[in-house]
Structures are given as structure tokens and as C-alpha cells.
Structure 1
Amino acid sequence: MTRFLRRLDPAPLLLSLPAGLILGLFLLLPLLATALLSFRSYSLYTGIEPVLELGNYLEIFGDGYFLEIFLRTARIAALATLLTILIGAPEAIILMRMRAPWRGLFLLVALGPLLISVVSRTLGWALLLGSTGVVNTALMAAGLIAEPIRFMYTEWGVTVALAHVLLPFMIISVMTVLQRLDPQVENASHALGAGGVTTFRRVILPQLLPGIFAGSIIVFAMAASAFATPQIIGGRRLKVVATLIYDEYLFSLNWPLGAALALLLFAIVIVVAVGFNRLAESRFARMYG
């Protein structure tokens, strides 16, 4: 043991100490404070009481209202992730096949939403999807519909707006993988007689999967915890977990229940991300192992 301690180099520990302190101060300490708050009880007349109990968690798991909101949040996040895959992966492939200066120009267009506030982008979608918005006005002017379609305050409207907001993250993830892709592999596939569909399915798609999986984890986590877009597009009636936490903190003033909801959302996102990552690793191990 003494010989092992002598060989132990303290330099890596000392170099990582500042990052560890910052992580503990700004992430672990607030999480610990939120966890302790979630076990407090709340009364309308006495406020937050200094007792530790499981009442908030029992209320969440015992009330179908909270289960419905968690399922709605997961459904919206999953559909938004699927939309970003269907749009972002082909868009990344097309961008990588473009030549300068068109690649840089269209890449700026694709990643441009990141330069604009989420609130501004969401308000733009509200103008597009409203009953008197651009979409309904154009469809009615073309004679395709007789009355406005209800996009606002629906899960579909929130999903589309979230997919647009988070699409650049999927594009960046897939393009990062494509930059390491050797174009000669695709040429070799064509030289051996494979068609375009076979080449994409057997050569290109397997190499795209790491980027798609990484982008999916990022998009799902951000969509599940999004607040501004569901609040503006979904309104007061279409609740997701983030807007429910906001209401518990600022309107009901039930901070312990809001803290319990926030911790459960955090735990679910972590479990989904880790599980998805393990699934991807096992799949790649079977493919390339």
C-alpha cells in the first residue's frame, strides 16, 4: 500500500481540483439543496415546514394527473427527437456533399436558429401557427381548408416548434461523424456493384448511427426539459413537466412539490440518456466487435 501511494502522481488530482470544485459548487450543491427541499412538507397556512417526509413523492406517484403530464412530456420529447432525425440527418448529408462557398452559406442557414433567442423563435412559430397566422391564411387562400386548423395549444404544435429549435444540435452531431467518413468507402461500394439504396443502408447509415444516437440524446434531454416553447405554444392548458414546475414555484408557492417534480424529471432524463447510450454501445459492439 505504501509503495502504491508513493507511485501515485498527485499532478492529475491537483489539475482536476478546480474543475471539481466548480462542478460541486454550481451543480452538485444545488442538486443536493433541491433534493433536501423535495422532502419538506408544505401547507398553505404555515408554508414550508422543517420536517422530512415522502409526501411529495407519494402525491406525484399516486395522482394520475402528474402521470399524464410526465407521459405527455415524454411523448413530445420523443416525437421532436424523431422529427429532428428525419430532417437533420439528411440535411447534414446534403451539407457535407456541398462545395464551397455553398456549404458555408447553407450551414449558416441551418445553424442560424442558434443565433436567435429561443423565445423569439417560438414567438415566430406562434405567428405562423395561429388561427390567423401565415399557415392557416395561406391554406384558406388556396382553398385547401374551409376553416383554420388548430395548431396552437396542441401537442403537435409544441412538437414542431421544439423540433425546429433543437434541429441544429442534430445537424452538428451528424456532421461531426460525417467529417470522419472516408468518401472512398462509398466509391468502393459503387465499384463493387452496389446501388445507391444498398450503399446508403450498408455503408453510410451504419457510420451515421453514432452521430444520430448522440444527437438524439441531446435533443431528447433538451426537449423534455424545455420551458419557453411549451409555455408559449402550449399555453396554460397543455402542461408539461417544466411548465408545471414553474407553476408550483411561482403560483402555488409549493416549492417542495416543485423540487420533487424537478428531481424526477432530472432522474428520468438521466436514465433515458444512460440507457440509450448503453443500447447504442451494445449495438456497435455487435456490429464491429
Structure 2
Amino acid sequence: MHSQRTMLIWMTLPALLFYLALLAVPLLSIFLLSFETEAGPGLDSYRQVFSDPYFLTIFLRTLGLSLLVTAIALVLGTGEALVLSRMSPSWQGIFLVVILGPLLISVIVRTLGWAILFGGNGPLSVAAQWLHLSDGPISLMYSMTGLIAALVHVSVPFVVISVWVSLQGINPDVERAGASLGANGFTIFRRLVLPRILPGILSASLVVFSLAATAFATPAIIGGRRLKVVATAIYDEFLSMLNWPLGAALAVVLLLVNVGLFSLFNRVLNRSRRRATTSLSRPEGQPT
């Protein structure tokens, strides 16, 4: 037993050292940097983050943006996954390539493509004028609508893959049995399908939220200076203002907020999943 444990430790040691070198050490460096002041270690940077309305606005904007992107991506991605799961294997392969397309393109190239599309002389503006929907050029650049659309575009594939994998574990006979007992499509989805795909929805929502909350290239190009988020504010503090402690404090606060929301979200969804599973296993008519 002791030799097996020693062997496991030695087997995991390279991965642990790799993790420490690439993640733990930089995070610790950022954390220590956030306490630096001219007079020595202190909390000046954190006081500025929590007392300045400018940073409060940026954090609230980032939170709202992340929640909206997550909600829209979950709705679109779950619907696409349901359709994909009912396709024949040959069509599934084709549509999987189409769905994963955004992930095969560089984030800069993809975002610049959205910038061209959203510009005042872009295809959307030209089409709106041709259809007499607008009297002049319209632009979605530097707007929340354009920023949400660009982030949802790259987030949906993560939802589709996660939910689609969960759907593979559902026996089609379960849905047919529910239909034979008189259940409509919505009831079958709510009572039989949704409890089984909740783990996939949970993992997808966490991934999408973290990607939206920490995105930099897309908000920097589509949002510009008008719609700053925390990631672009951190960049400005580090490279434009050269205020490294303040930039580090913003990064630490963003990390802590993400971790806190992840824990809360995970607990709520796990509780909902247990209730749904209990409801699924309870015979019809049995009191709760």
C-alpha cells in the first residue's frame, strides 16, 4: 500500500510542478504585487478599486455582460444540441464542423471580421439601408449589442458540445415511453431530458461565464474605449498607466469574484439537479 502511494506521488509530481510553474507562481506574483505601495506593503490599490465609482461601473458592466452572454449562449447552444442529437450520424459530422468553426479561427481574425460586419459601411449597414430599415449608415461598433453578439458567437460551441455529450447518455426509448403515456413535448423535456443534461448545462455555463468575464481581445476591439470591461481596464493599468499594483489588484478582485460566483452557481444548480432527479424518480401522484 505504501509503495503504491509513493508511486502515485511520483507519477503526479511532474504535473504538479508544471502547474506550479505556469499557474501558481504567476498568480502568487500578481497577488503580492497588488499590495505594493510607495511606502511599503499596503491596501491602497484595493481601497481605490472599491471606492472609485469608475471601477465599480466597470465591474458591474462586466458582470452584466457575462450573465447576458451566458444566458443567450445556453438557450441557443442547448437548442442546437437537441437538434444535433436527432440528426443522422452523417449530418452530425457536417454540422459539428460548422458549429466548431468559430473555434478554428484566431480570436483576432474573428473579432476583426465582426468589426467589418458591424461597421458603418459593413454588410449589415448596407443591407439595412437597401431594405429601407435605416435612413443612413448604422453601426454596432462600440455598443453592448455588438459586444454581446461577438462573444455569444464564440461561446455557443462550448454549450453545444457539453450538452450534446450529455444527450448521448439518454436512451431514446425513455422519451418514446413518455410520449406513449400521453406526455407532451414540453413535459418530456422538463421531466425526462432536462434532469439528464443539467450536468452539461452546468459545466457549459461555467466555461462560458469565465470566458466572457475574462475576455480581452473582443471587448478591446468591439467595445473600444467606450465600453471598458475589467480585462481591458487591467491592460490599461499595466501598460498605459504603468500602475502595476492597481492592475494586479483588479486582476485579484476579478479572480475572487469569479471563484465566488462559480461556487454559488454550482451550489444552486446542484440543488436544482437533486430536486429534478427526485421528482423524476417519484411516482406520479405521490405527495412531495
Q: Which TM bucket (shorter chain)?
A: over 0.9
Equivalent residue number for residue 31 of structure 1: 27
Partner AA of 2:35 in structure 1: F
Which has the higher mean CA deviation after the structures are superposed, 5-14 or 186-195?
5-14
Distance 2:89 2:178 in 1: 26
Q: Count residues in correspondence.
A: 278
Distance 1:272 1:30 in 2: 22
Distance 1:114 1:27 in 2: 23
Distance 1:148 1:79 in 2: 27
- Corresponding residue SS for 1:236: coil
1:50, CA displacement in angstroms? Answer: 6.9
Contact preservation (8 Å) 2:195, 2:277: no
Residues 236 and 202 (structure 1 numbering): CA distance in 2 closer, same or farther, change over 3 Å? same
1:21, CA displacement in angstroms? Answer: 1.2
Equivalent residue number for residue 230 of structure 2: 241
1:131, CA displacement in angstroms? Answer: 1.5
Equivalent residue number for residue 188 of structure 1: 177
Q: For 1:132, which of 86, 97, 121 is the aligned residue?
A: 121
Equivalent residue number for residue 21 of structure 1: 17
Q: How does 1:16-95 map to 2 (within 5 A)?
A: 16-41=12-37, 49=38, 51-95=40-84
Which has the higher mean CA deviation after the structures are superposed, 141-150 or 81-90?
141-150
Partner AA of 1:76 in structure 2: L
Residue 148 of structure 1 pairs with residue 137 of structure 2:
yes
Partner AA of 1:91 in structure 2: E
Contact preservation (8 Å) 2:150, 2:218: yes
| Deviation readout 1:57-93 (Å, 9 max, x if unpaired) | 0011011100000000011111111111111110011
| Deviation readout 1:5-50 (Å, 9 max, x if unpaired) | 9698322222211111111111111111111100012xxxxxxx47
Unmatched runs of 5 consecutive residues or more in structure 2: 279-288
Residue 111 of structure 1 pairs with residue 100 of structure 2:
yes
Equivalent residue number for residue 224 of structure 1: 213
- Corresponding residue SS for 1:238: coil
1:149, CA displacement in angstroms? Answer: 3.5
Q: Identity of counterpart residues, as a percentage?
A: 48
Distance 1:250 1:218 in 2: 28
- Corresponding residue SS for 2:89: coil
Contact preservation (8 Å) 2:191, 2:276: no
| Deviation readout 1:171-212 (Å, 9 max, x if unpaired) | 111111011111111011111111222212222222222211
Equivalent residue number for residue 284 of structure 2: none
Distance 2:39 2:103 in 1: 43
Once superposed, which parts of structure 1, at least 4 consecutive aligned residues long, lie more than 4 Å away?
5-8
Unmatched runs of 5 consecutive residues or more in structure 1: 42-48
Contact preservation (8 Å) 2:69, 2:148: yes
Distance 1:205 1:140 in 2: 43
Partner AA of 2:177 in structure 1: A
Distance 1:148 1:85 in 2: 32
| TM-score, L = length of structure 2 | 0.92
| TM-score, L = length of structure 1 | 0.92
- Corresponding residue SS for 2:134: coil
1:159, CA displacement in angstroms? Answer: 0.9
Distance 2:4 2:192 in 1: 45
Distance 2:183 2:269 in 1: 27
| Deviation readout 1:239-276 (Å, 9 max, x if unpaired) | 10000111111110111110110111111111111221
- Corresponding residue SS for 2:182: coil
Equivalent residue number for residue 283 of structure 2: none
